[in-house]
Structure 1
Amino acid sequence: MCAKRFSQGSGPSQRQLRVAEVIRHKLAEVLARGDVHDPELSRFSITVSEVTTSPDLKHATAYVMPLGGQGEQDALKALRRNKAELRHQVSRDLGLKYAPDLKFELDGTFDRMDDARRIFNDPRVQADIASDDDATDGAADGDDDR
């Protein structure tokens, strides 16, 4: 009971992180080798950027993105359609009591990075950054005069 309360409030446990990373590696390996015999899935080169697991390790969410970001929905449909075979392939050597149920989601990290770059390149933001740098330099110079 105490362990359950602890794992809910402080983020994933070390075991969850370790198992998630092993799942990520195995899933990426299975997809790269083309071990799933689905012609539609094999036409995609899919990046598995992150995997998260539930506290009981029975559920895993894989965040994926096809190379180049083309055909995202088609790739997601193909992964979901082949979920059972991927689950079998990935969990074969995991050594867990239960094979985790796989869920696939598109990774939005790349879109958020593009949005951040666009914001930082905005002339108004650049002006704010430059004025902050000038204020910081002036404060540093003032400290040297003491």
Structure 2
Amino acid sequence: MAPTNRPQAGMPSQRQLRVGELVRKEVSDILSRGHLADPALEGVIVSVPEVRMTPDLRLASCLVMPLGGQNADKVVDALNRSSRFIRRELSRGWTMKYLPDVRFVLDTRFDDDDRITQLLNRDDVRRDTAHTDSDDDE
């Protein structure tokens, strides 16, 4: 039986990943040029570590984080207000059938990692995992 190229449930396809990376690079370039006329974005460096595309490639969710994390909610709101301008800038040289709508979401992955690490280091959780490990040895 020949292997299929279909992604597993919940996993992005290669096309979603490829288009997401193209959008990420372009959005990063647009933000680095500093042409956005929003006071909340003046002098703020914003990183775009990941862009997640919907399966139909019509919506790009850009995970963003301002350098230092200051005023993160205000920066995300300002980027969402500027999304039409950013989308128009994306359209220059874009060769896809549909141009995705762009929305911005605060990247909380590092905070989530820290929270999970703190939970795993709690005494009661350590005790439970140590108990489970000793059961496996028997």
Pairwise TM-score range, normalised by the shorter structure: 0.7 to 0.9
| Letter of the structure 1 residue corresponding to residue 106 of structure 2 | L
- Change in Cα spacing, 1:10 to 1:127, as seen in structure 2 (3 Å) is closer
Tell me what 1:77 maps to.
77
* Residues in 1 aligned to 2:105 and 2:123: alpha-carbon distance in whole angstroms: 34
Which residues of structure 2 form unaligned runs of 5+?
A: 1-5
Report how many aligned residue pairs link the two structures.
133
* Residues in 1 aligned to 2:8 and 2:88: alpha-carbon distance in whole angstroms: 28
- Change in Cα spacing, 1:7 to 1:125, as seen in structure 2 (3 Å) is closer
Q: Secondary structure of 2:62's partner?
A: strand
The TM-score, its normalising length taken from structure 2, stands at 0.77
* Residues in 2 aligned to 1:45 and 1:123: alpha-carbon distance in whole angstroms: 39
Tell me what 1:60 maps to.
60
The 8 Å contact of residues 51 and 60 in structure 1, kept in 2 or not, is answered as yes
Which residues of structure 1 form unaligned runs of 5+?
A: 1-5, 140-146
Q: 1:122 aligned to 2:122?
A: yes
- Larger mean Cα displacement after TM superposition, 38-47 or 102-111: 38-47
Residue deviations 1:125-144, cap 9 Å, x none? 344555667x49xx5xxxxx
Q: Secondary structure of 1:125's partner?
A: helix
Residue deviations 1:23-56, cap 9 Å, x none? 1111112212213233432332212122111222
Displaced runs of 4+ in structure 1, greater than 4 A? 6-10, 127-133
- The RMSD of aligned alpha carbons is 2.7
The TM-score, its normalising length taken from structure 1, stands at 0.73
| Letter of the structure 2 residue corresponding to residue 97 of structure 1 | K
Tell me what 1:89 maps to.
89
- Change in Cα spacing, 1:18 to 1:122, as seen in structure 2 (3 Å) is same
| Letter of the structure 2 residue corresponding to residue 86 of structure 1 | I
Higher helix share: 1
- Larger mean Cα displacement after TM superposition, 50-59 or 12-21: 50-59
Tell me what 1:31 maps to.
31
> Percent identity over the alignment?
40
